[in-house]
């Protein structure tokens, strides 16, 4: 398909699977953005994992085909996978395809609800930081951390990376070499592992599970790549994304364990001022207290950490 490239507005890449109500709610919140009618939307729908799940996947696809007829975007493309790829492969392949056409992209998943300032912020940040090679990612979600209550700037920066409404450029994304990890080297590098774990409790365990083939995560590899290359993430002071998936319906969602991540959407009453700042150490420390999404602080988390310790001892001896 021939697509007219408009560098003013980054395309949005949305990922859906088997939750028709979630993806429709997400896209309708995106339509409330004034920039939506100038934005190209790509929707990637993964295939069913088994025959048992095929009905819900097809229900979601039918809903999206119908939605596409009246969608309020400049152009809407629906890409339906013939077979199940899994979330990691779907995101890696989908983002790569779109970002290499447009050189930048905004990425969302089905359980997000977006502020009507979402696209204005994302496009403004992508333009402002395009030539700042310290910046690897733009995040529209922000953590409900105490330090922001008296914070005076519109944005802050951390060594981190998040997946609830984010954006990047082709050069940063492709530099991840998508995204091979030398696990032997990683597990020998104690300093890197501590830094990685200290951005958000749980990353090091996820890397162990990734190395063992027990999970397949694009995010753990992406954030490690950002950290290794000292690439920073820009966050808004007020969250422009909230998550609607705390009902247990998602692959990695758990109502009881993740509700502390909930952030209310805010209507920004002024033009957001972007600045070239350095990572904020205080805010990084406060954000690091939050366990990695899918992990609960407390006994369960530390039992998982003990599992990592046994892995280290086993590898040494």
* pLDDT given at position 205: 86
Residue 1 lies in a domain: no
- 216: Cβ contacts below 8 Å, ≥ 6 apart: 86, 87, 88, 89, 210
Q: Domain containing 264: what range?
A: 12-316
Residue 2 lies in a domain: no
Residue 3 lies in a domain: no
Residue 250 lies in a domain: yes
SS3 assignment, position 40: strand
* pLDDT given at position 256: 46
304, containing H or E segment: helix 299-316
With CA atoms as reference, report the closest residue to 127 among 300, 250, 7. 7
Residue 87 lies in a domain: yes
Residue 228 lies in a domain: yes
Sign of the CA dihedral with 287 first, then 291, 292, and 294 last: negative
Residue 4 lies in a domain: no
Model pTM score: 0.90
Residue 259 lies in a domain: yes
Measured distance CA(224)–CA(222) in Å, rounded:
5
Tens-level pLDDT at each residue, the chain (317 residues) = 555 556 799 999 999 999 999 999 999 999 999 999 999 999 999 999 999 999 999 999 999 999 999 999 999 999 999 999 999 999 999 999 999 999 999 999 999 999 999 999 999 999 999 999 999 999 999 988 999 999 999 999 999 888 899 999 999 999 998 888 999 999 999 999 999 988 887 888 889 889 988 889 999 999 999 999 999 999 999 999 998 875 555 444 444 455 667 778 888 889 999 999 999 999 999 988 876 655 555 545 555 666 666 665 555 43
CATH number, domain at 188? 3.90.550.10
Query: What's the number of domains the chain is made of?
Result: 1
């Amino acid at each position: 398909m021939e697509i007219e490239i408009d560098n003013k507005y980054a395309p949005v890449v949305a990922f859906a699977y088997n939750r028709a109500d979630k993806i429709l709610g997400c896209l309708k919140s995106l339509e409330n953005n004034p920039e939506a009618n100038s934005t190209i939307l790509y929707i990637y729908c993964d295939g069913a994992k088994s025959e048992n799940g095929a009905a819900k996947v097809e229900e979601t696809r039918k809903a999206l085909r119908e939605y596409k007829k009246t969608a309020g975007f400049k152009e809407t493309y629906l890409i339906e996978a013939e077979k199940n790829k899994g979330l990691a492969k779907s995101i890696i392949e989908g983002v790569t395809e779109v970002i290499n056409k447009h050189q930048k992209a905004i990425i969302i998943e089905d359980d997000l609800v977006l502020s009507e300032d979402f696209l204005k912020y994302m496009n403004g940040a992508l333009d402002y930081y395009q030539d700042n090679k310290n910046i690897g990612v733009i995040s529209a979600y922000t953590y409900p951390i105490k330090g922001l209550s008296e914070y005076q700037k519109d944005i802050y920066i951390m060594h981190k990376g998040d997946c609830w409404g984010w954006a990047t450029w082709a050069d940063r994304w492709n530099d991840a070499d998508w995204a091979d990890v030398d696990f032997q080297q990683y597990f020998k590098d104690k300093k890197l592992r501590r830094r990685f774990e200290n951005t958000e409790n749980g990353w090091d365990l996820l890397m162990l599970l990734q190395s063992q083939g027990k999970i397949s995560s694009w995010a753990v590899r992406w954030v490690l790549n950002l950290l290794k290359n000292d690439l920073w993430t820009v966050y808004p002071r007020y969250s422009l994304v909230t998550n609607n998936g705390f009902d247990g319906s998602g692959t990695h969602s758990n109502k009881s364990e993740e509700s502390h991540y909930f952030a209310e959407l805010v209507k920004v009453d002024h033009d957001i001022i972007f600045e070239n700042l350095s990572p904020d150490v205080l805010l990084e420390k406060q954000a690091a207290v939050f366990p990695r999404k899918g992990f609960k602080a407390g006994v369960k988390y530390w039992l998982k950490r003990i599992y990592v310790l046994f892995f280290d001892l086993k590898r040494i001896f």
